[in-house]
Amino acid sequence: MSEKTKENAQVPKDSKDVKEKKESKRPEPKVVERKEQVAREIVRIANVDLNGNLKVDRALRSIKGIGIRTATYLANDFFARSKVPKNMLLGNIPSDKDDLLTDIVFLIAVPEWMSNRQRDLYTGESKHLTGSDLIFTIREDKQRLSRVKARRGMRLLAGLRVRGQKTKSNFRRKMGVVGVVKKAATPGKAAPKPAAAKPAPAKAGKKWEWILMGNPKKIRKKYDLPKRPWNRTRILSEKDLLEKYGLASKKELRVMDSIIKKKRDAIKRLLAESPEVATKGKASIIGSLNRIGLLSVDANISDVLGLGITDILERRLQTIVFRQGLAKTPKQARQFVLHGFISVNGRRLSVPGYLVKKEEENTIGYFDNKKPKIMEAEMKNPELHKAKKHEAKEEEKAEDKEEAPAELKWGVKHESSNCTYLFNL
């Protein structure tokens, strides 16, 4: 250590001097000005008591179902109609304007993308719910999901999260907090020893645990497999459909079939419901099928039950591209869609299985009006391409004749081998 540091270490600091220095460094307390007094501390709007010391958009957020964006939208609408300055607090607004604000809250006229109830299951309309209407609708949705034994409904009934969050908590509010909670020990007494944990039963609750929790890594299939996998008639019919509509695999066929099957099952379930529920459900199901172009508005239950897989295959984007003459074959239509040459309503779509709505059918075309090169070449020299196709077909026929000899028959020995052929080629 140097001599200066030793001297400083030996000389003790006076505590009074240190306190004076600290007090001198402290900032002076700020003088807080009182806000202006509000005419009304509480304002009742839409059967809810709102704080009058807040601005209109901030106060409206206390109503259930109205968030930041919706509150700002409604406040701007109120200011435009009432011609009240925007900076005015809710309590200073004249009381004769309360009815106008209540009407704006009850009859919320927001855009469809902003509404919290889009395409209602029963009515098909989009609306914004608030207050008790929102609570009742959420409760009804949970009951409907639990009645159908859906995974979401089972988890909601158990009080668990639904959207597959991966966090360190299990969200089991009824079972208590995860981890160890220590009790404060009283003075003079030893802390009690923690009780030994009881071993859980091995088999109890495994089935329900799997149903409630699910597996977020493995998404469930969106289609059902056939009950009889080796049915000859079904296999041949599926093969014809694959060739006719240019599908890549049988998975696409079964996804489309499952959509129709779900609609049929929903209609059958409505037959056992009350007349009010049945009429609402029937309108929603037929409305959804009408939007895709499968049924008319005046359709009946028998029309829904009579739908087949070919009806929905005709509404795929790949099929409509081929029907409108934008491609020569269904497989070429699939290629154009996947490569981004096709647009729907000015938006590029690369999903061949997209179900086209009635409104969008006339908006299908090439993206940016750019045709694929193969279509431009066919427009220039159509005869040349016809000749090439004819040659390719003849070559395929010649190869098929060389590969499959005509002598082979079912269960008959061939001269060149000692084995029996088991397939009728």
Tell me the per-residue pLDDT of 119-139, one tens digit each, with 9 for 90 and over: 888 888 888 888 888 999 988
Average pLDDT over every residue of 89-111: 86
Q: Residue 364 pairs with which residues in a beta bridge?
A: 344
| Confidence grade of residue 4 (pLDDT, cut at 50, 70, 90) | low
Residue 182 confidence (pLDDT) above 70: no
| Confidence grade of residue 384 (pLDDT, cut at 50, 70, 90) | low
Structure-model confidence comparison of residues 422 and 280, the more confident one: 280
- Residue 194 half-sphere exposure toward CB, CA atoms < 13 A: 7
- Check residue 289 and give its pLDDT: 94
- Check residue 216 and give its pLDDT: 60
- Check residue 259 and give its pLDDT: 93
Residue 323 confidence (pLDDT) above 90: yes
Cα distance between residue 273 and residue 192, in whole Å: 58
Average pLDDT over every residue of 185-203: 53
Average pLDDT over every residue of 389-404: 69
**Stretch among 210-214, 248-252, 327-331 having the lowest mean pLDDT:** 210-214
Q: What is the dihedral of CA 63, 66, 70, 76, to 10 degrees?
A: 0
- Check residue 19 and give its pLDDT: 56
Residue 425 confidence (pLDDT) above 70: no
Give me the chain's average pLDDT, please: 78
Cα distance between residue 277 and residue 370, in whole Å: 49
Residue 410 confidence (pLDDT) above 60: no
| Confidence grade of residue 417 (pLDDT, cut at 50, 70, 90) | very low
Residue 200 confidence (pLDDT) above 60: no
Q: How many CB atoms lie within 10 A of CB 364?
A: 18
**Stretch among 16-30, 324-338, 405-419 having the lowest mean pLDDT:** 405-419
- Check residue 336 and give its pLDDT: 94
- Check residue 2 and give its pLDDT: 55
Structure-model confidence comparison of residues 11 and 342, the more confident one: 342
Q: Where are the domains of the chain?
A: 42-114, 130-162+207-218, 232-377
Domain 42-114 CATH class label: mainly alpha
Residue 195 confidence (pLDDT) above 60: no
| Confidence grade of residue 23 (pLDDT, cut at 50, 70, 90) | low
Residue 367 confidence (pLDDT) above 80: yes
